[in-house]
Amino acid sequence: MSNIVIIGAQWGDEGKGKVIDVYSRKVDMIARYQGGNNAGHTVVIGKDRFILHLIPSGILHKGKMCVIGNGVVVDPKALLEEIKMLQSRGIDVDGRLFVSEEAHIILPYHWKLDGIKEEKKGRIGTTKKGIGPCYADKVARNGIRAVDLLNRDVLRQKLQSNLDEKNAIFSKIYGVEGFGFDALYKEYLGYGERIKKYICNTTVLLNGAIKKRKKILFEGAQGTLLDVDHGTYPFVTSSNSTAGGASTGTGVGPNKIDKVIGVVKAYTTRVGEGPFPTEFGPDLMERIRQKGKEFGATTGRPRRCGWFDSVVVGHAVMVNGIDEIVITKLDVLDDLETIKICISYKYNGGVHKHFPADMQAQAGAEPVYEELPGWKADTTGITTYSKLPKNAKNYLKRIQYILNTKIVLISVGSDRKQTFPKY
C-alpha cells in the first residue's frame, strides 16, 4: 500500500497541480478532498496548458480514476463546463470521474451572499464563487447535496426551505432581490440529470480500492495557511485544506494514509487579504511577479510575493505531518544577487520560531532573515540535481536543514519535464 496526500505548505498556489500531475503516474486513483472551484491547478504539457478547478489534475493521465470527495463543494455548472473543456481537448472522463453523493452543491444564492459579504462586511479576499456560504449551509445542516439533485421531492423541499430563508436575508438585511423557486428548481434538476452518471458512493469506492491494494493520491485545493483551523484566520478558506481533511473529506481512515508530501515555492506568495510578514517591497514584488507569472489561475488577481518563510512552512510541516517536500519555481530566483530566508519572527517583545495565532502578532511580526548568495545562472534547462549551480544547492540544503524535512523533488519551470528528483 502506498497512499499519499499532497498538500500545499504555504498560502496556496505552490504548484500543487503540476506536482499532482507528476505523482499521478505512480498511482491508480486521485481523490480531491476539499474546496471547490475557487481552486486553480495548472498543468503544462508541451505547448498545452490545462487549468482545472474541480476535477483532479490526474485526469490528464490516461486510465487514471479521479474522485471528487464528500468534502468538496461542487458547482454543477462549473463541473459540466470543465468536463466539456476536457472532452473538447480529447480527454474522456466517462467511467473515470466519480463525484461523491455526499458532496454539497453550490447554488446561485451562495454566489450572491459571497459577493455581498465581501463588499459589505470587510474584505477577506474570497473568489466570490459561493464556497464559504455553501460550507456554512453544510455546517448549519441545511445544505443540498449531490444525491439530492437526483430526488425531485427532496430537492423541492430543501430548495424551498433554503429560498424562504435566503430571500428573507436578501430583502430584509441587504435590501436586494432574491431568487424565484421554479426556474432554480428546474435548472438544478437538469444538472442532476446531466451529472448523475458521475455521482456515486465514493467512500465505498475508495475503501474498496484500498482493499484491492490500489494506490491513491489525495489532493488538497488550498494551502495550509488557508486552513479554517490552522491558517491566518479569518483570512482563510472555509474548509480543512490540511492533511487531516483528506480523511474527513473522503471517508478514508487516517491509518490508510502512508505519506504526506508538502509543496512549497522557493519563495512565498499569497492572494487576497491578510498578514504576510516576508512580503517584498514594490520593486522586487513586480520583478518576481512578472518572472514567476504570479497571477491567480482562477481569478487572474496578482499574487503578493515575498521571501521564503520557514516559520510558515515549519508550521505546515508540523500540522500536516509532512514527510517530504517538493520545491517549485526555483528558477524564478535565478537573477538575484542575494536571497533571504526568514528563520524566525520578532513579536510581543521576543523572537519566536512558531507561527502565532493572534491576528495582531501575525500582522506585526518582523521577520528575522538569513542571507545567502544567489547563483546568477539560468536553471530552466537543468534536468538533474547534480547540475544545479553550487549556490542553488546551498539554498536548498539550508531550507532542508532549517525544516528538518527531506526535499525530494525540484521544479525549475512550468512544463511537466522541468522537474527532477533531489536524490
pLDDT tens-digit profile of 285-301? 999 999 999 987 666 78
Task: Return the pLDDT at 262.
Answer: 97
Task: Return the pLDDT at 153.
Answer: 97
Q: What is the mean pLDDT of residues 143-159?
A: 98
Task: Return the pLDDT at 272.
Answer: 82
Q: Which CATH topology does 104-195 take?
A: Adenylosuccinate Synthetase, subunit A; domain 2 (1.10.300)
Asked whether the predicted pLDDT for residue 423 surpasses 60, the reply is: yes
Enumerate the β-bridge partners of residue 306: 268, 279
Task: Return the pLDDT at 298.
Answer: 63
Asked whether the predicted pLDDT for residue 2 surpasses 90, the reply is: no
Task: Return the pLDDT at 297.
Answer: 65
**CATH 3.30.710.10, applies to 264-421:** no
pLDDT tens-digit profile of 9-21? 999 999 888 898 8
Task: Return the pLDDT at 122.
Answer: 57
Which CATH architecture does the domain made up of 4-100+198-260 adopt?
3-Layer(aba) Sandwich (3.40)
Name the pLDDT band for 123 (thresholds 50, 70, 90): low
Q: Which residues are marked as active site? A: 13, 41
Strands 338-347 and 308-309: parallel
Quick one: what percent of the chain has pLDDT higher than 90? 81
Cβ–Cβ contacts within 10 Å for residue 318, how many?
A: 13
Pick the closest to residue 383 from 347, 336, 334, 416 (CA basis).
416
The number of CA neighbours under 13 Å toward the Cβ of 365 is: 29
Q: What is the mean pLDDT of residues 65-86?
A: 96
Give the integer Cα–Cα distance in Å for 389 and 313. Answer: 24
Q: What is the mean pLDDT of residues 132-161?
A: 97
Calculate helix-pair angle for 310-320, 390-403, nearest 10 degrees.
Answer: 50
pLDDT tens-digit profile of 176-202? 999 999 999 999 999 999 999 999 999
pLDDT tens-digit profile of 333-382? 999 999 999 999 999 889 999 999 999 999 999 999 999 999 999 999 99
pLDDT tens-digit profile of 366-375? 999 999 999 9
Name the pLDDT band for 51 (thresholds 50, 70, 90): confident
Give the integer Cα–Cα distance in Å for 277 and 366. Answer: 6
Asked whether the predicted pLDDT for residue 41 surpasses 70, the reply is: no
Task: Return the pLDDT at 242.
Answer: 97
Task: Return the pLDDT at 400.
Answer: 97
pTM: 0.92
Q: What is the mean pLDDT of residues 67-85?
A: 96
The domain spans of the chain are 4-100+198-260, 104-195, 264-421
Asked whether the predicted pLDDT for residue 134 surpasses 70, the reply is: yes
Q: Lowest-confidence range among 87-91, 98-102, 122-126, 320-324? A: 122-126
